[in-house]
Structure 1
Amino acid sequence: MHLPVLPPLLPMLAKPVKGVPDPAKVGPMSFEPKWDGFRCVLFKDGDEVELASRNTKPLTRYFPELVAAARAQLPARCVLDGEILVAIGSRLEFEVLQERIHPAASRIARLAEETPARFVAFDLLALDDDSYLERPFAERRAALVDALGHLDASGPCHLTRTTEDPAVAAEWFHRFEGAGLDGVSAKPLSAPYTPNVRSMLKIKHERTADVVVAGYREHKTSTPERPLLGSLLLALHDADGTLQHVGVSASFTAARRAELIEELQPLVCPIGEHPWGAWQEWAVANPDRVPGTQSRWSQGKDLSFTPLRPERVLEVRYDAMEGRRFRHTAHFLRWRPDRDPASCGYDQLEQPVSYDLADVLGGA
């Protein structure tokens, strides 16, 4: 490739903030939907196309349909920052996107037909022989619109929509979640592109839920002399009263890990007496990703867990659901001794209003 910006390149990052920032206080900003997919820097030089992940690892072989789309739809020589997505119907589906990272070429080819990916561009890093890294975002955005303004909702390549109105951004924050989006991003209009620096802002959804603590895993540094908790296994009751695994809570200090594992010892029980006892007979990964089972993401890791009588309730903070599970690791807030574990069900979770992804993409 002969481009003014070449791989490997670490993309610009974002730091979290609470609420949509006020441009009157922080300066002129451009707001855009925060897409829920794989961050990707796309390099194109004629028919040569490379897709690189956030940590610069190659993604090209996993998305042959995007290589073809880039050749057909994008400028002859360019470098774009964006996101790879998979949509099913009117929503983004991150779990379906994860299935694309597979060693078998035959499976990749089949999934490229069955669940084709899309690429949403949101920044311009190079065009023809010109690098845009040092130019302010306002200039980069204007050039990006000139280069990709012909794209529409039919895809597979898209141009993200933006606004400089914080009121519109706040509306997007609530409305677009129904299409599976992750929140809103904000970029200073005067800022250059700064690789691997948190120069952007991100506003993500945060919610709380009361969950049942159903087990724990030990930390990788745990020893018999100094046992340490690694993560708590969280659960909710479904409509039938079955206790379902919904995710984990982790990220404790070493002192807190020691306190928690000691505090939970009176609740330890044999797996045969636990609601998840039947899972001990399973030896392969399954769609519910129950604890203790393997998947291609966890080969070689010890996923065994210590079952606990489901008698304690914990309040956690989470950002979103992915199917029946928390999308990311939940944050421990506080114990809830006032809550009955039987009352901790899916019905307490906030459901975003449905929104059609095509309306988001079509408005770019």
Structure 2
Amino acid sequence: MPWNLPEPMLSAPVSQPDLRPGWAAEAKWDGFRALLSADAGKVELRSRRGTDMGPAFPEIVAGAAQLPDATALDGELVVWEENRLAFERLQKRLQRRGAGAARAADEAPAHFVAFDLLRLSGTDTTAWPYQRRRAALESVFVAQHLSAPWALCPSTTDPDTVKEWLTWAAVGIEGVVFKRLDGSYQQSVRGWLKYKTRETTEAIVGGVTGPLTSPRSLLLGRYDAQGRLQYTGRSTTLARAAGSTIAGHLTPAGPEHPWTGWSFSAGWGTTEKLTVTLVHPKLVVEVGVDVARDASGRWRHPARLHRARPDLSSADVPLQSTPP
């Protein structure tokens, strides 16, 4: 009977990074979730949504020759560049094929960070408890002497180690994932827990979408070291009451606005453009953001508005900087 990759097991968000008794924690990477199967020379590399990613990542497909036959892994595709995980490099590779994909693999090779074992030498391991799957996964790395593009995701039952991982945001560790030691791998079930590192910070409102009297979202900026207002991200959709409150602090911008003539994407990785009204960049807002950033230091995910801070000036806002 043929064996097929299962649908990936999922995680539910939690608000605190507490490591519970009977659970293990793994670092959460800023990359693409991927499942891989190597069986009789055939390699399948699949995204969380079922997309075939093999042609875009030939170095991962070629690397599968290091694995035992009839073995399958769950993990994360990442690209490491200049001491950080470069998600934008990963994003650009999805549409590459053939010679273009091969060039991209040479210029910015991807790695597969394995965090679960789904099949081992023909044996389906998804019913095994996590603790047993993890031990077997570690044994595969040792016995096969796995090297690039393979990397083993760290796992711990030590709360102090979890706290340390949460300080690694600058290099692209988004948070932690918690897994029951006695839990099986349940496809499509949110049986894991995830905590994403977030920070509260300030930004300047440089533009809005929607009417100026009731903005739907905010375009946020920060000044760089040269005194230029740089776009740093967009807010989530505002509640009506929040939009009304913000509107009372906004004034339309004149032609001297530093973003005049700019266009803004509707989302990270999409070509759809927003209809934007620029405003005088004076209002400071407090927002909650996660740690995922692109090479320019922009927030990849929308920021959550906490409150307007008309008591602050642009001098109170951190400067825009690129990740290390």
- Look up the equivalent residue of 2:300 and give its one-letter code: R
Instruction: Spell out the pairing of 1:47-126 with structure 2 (5 A cutoff).
Output: 47-70=41-64, 72-103=65-96, 105-126=98-119
Asked if 1:212 is matched to 2:211, the reply is: no
- Kindly provide the amino acid, as one letter, of the partner of residue 188 in structure 1: R
Cα offset, 1:86, TM superposition: 0.5
Q: 1:329 corresponds to which residue?
A: 302
The aligned amino acid for 2:294 is: E
How far, CA to CA, are the matches of 2:101 and 2:288 in structure 1? 35
Secondary structure at the aligned position of 2:282 is classed as strand
C-alpha distance 262-345 of structure 1, shift in aligned 2 (>3 A): closer
Map 1:98-247 to 2 at 5 A: 98-103=91-96, 105-150=98-143, 154-174=147-167, 176-218=168-210, 229-247=215-233
Q: Secondary structure at the match of 2:155?
A: coil
Q: Say if 1:211 and 1:234, in contact at 8 Å, map to a contact too.
A: yes
Secondary structure of the residue aligned to 2:94 is coil
Question: Is contact 1:118-1:155 (8 Å) kept?
Answer: yes
User: Are residues 1:43 and 2:27 paired?
Assistant: no
Tell me which amino acid in the other structure corresponds to 2:13.
Answer: P
Q: Is contact 2:268–2:300 with CA below 8 Å preserved after alignment?
A: no
With 14-23 and 48-57 compared, the bigger mean Cα shift is at 14-23
Matching residue's letter, 2:14: V
CA–CA distance in structure 2, aligned partners of residues 183 and 293 of structure 1: 26
- Match of 1:310, SS state, is coil
Aligned twin of 1:288: none
Q: Which residue matches 2:264?
A: 292
* Bigger shift: residues 57-66 or 90-99: 90-99
Shift of 1:104: 5.2
What TM-score, normalized to structure 1? 0.79
- 1:192 aligns to what SS in structure 2? coil
1:248 to 234, 238, 243: 234
Residue 256 of structure 2 corresponds to residue 273 of structure 1:
yes
Q: How big is the shift at 1:15?
A: 2.1
Structure 1 pair 108/295, CA: closer, same or farther in 2 (3 Å)? farther
Match of 1:93, as an amino acid?
Answer: A
Q: Retained in 1: the 8 A contact 2:268–2:301?
A: no
Q: Which runs of 5+ in 2 are unaligned?
A: none
Q: Structure 1's 186 and 332: CA in aligned 2 closer, same or farther, altered over 3 A?
A: same
Deviations 1:26-66 (A, max 9, x none): x3111221111100011221211111111112211110110
Q: After superposition, give the CA deviation of every residue in 1:117-162 in whole Å (9 maximum; x if it has no partner).
A: 1101111112233222222111211222222334668411122221
1:26-41 residue pairs with structure 2 within 5 A? 27-41=21-35
- Confirm or deny: 8 A CA contact 1:229 1:260 kept in the other structure: no
Shift of 1:322: 3.1
The count of residues paired between Structure 1 and Structure 2 equals: 322
**Partners of 1:311 and 1:295 in 2: CA distance:** 24
- What CA deviation, in whole Å up to 9, does each residue of 1:141-195 have, x standing for no partner? 1222222334668411122221212222222222x33432222221110111122
- Larger helix share, 1 or 2: 1
Q: SS of the residue aligned with 2:280?
A: strand
**Aligned equivalents of 2:318, 2:19: Cα separation in 1:** 37
TM-score (norm 2): 0.88
* Structure 1 residue identity aligned to 2:319: Y
- Structure 1 pair 342/171, CA: closer, same or farther in 2 (3 Å)? closer
CA root-mean-square deviation: 2.9
Pairwise CA distance, 1:247: 0.5
Contact 2:19 2:157 in 1 (8 A): no
Contact 2:266 2:273 in 1 (8 A): no
* Contact 1:274–1:307 (8 Å) recurs in 2: yes
Q: Given the superposition, is the C-alpha separation of residues 228 and 101 from structure 1 closer, same or farther in structure 2, using an over 3 Å criterion?
A: farther
**Distance 1:214-1:179 versus aligned 2 partners, 3 A rule:** closer
CA separation in 1, counterparts of 2:315 and 2:74?
A: 46
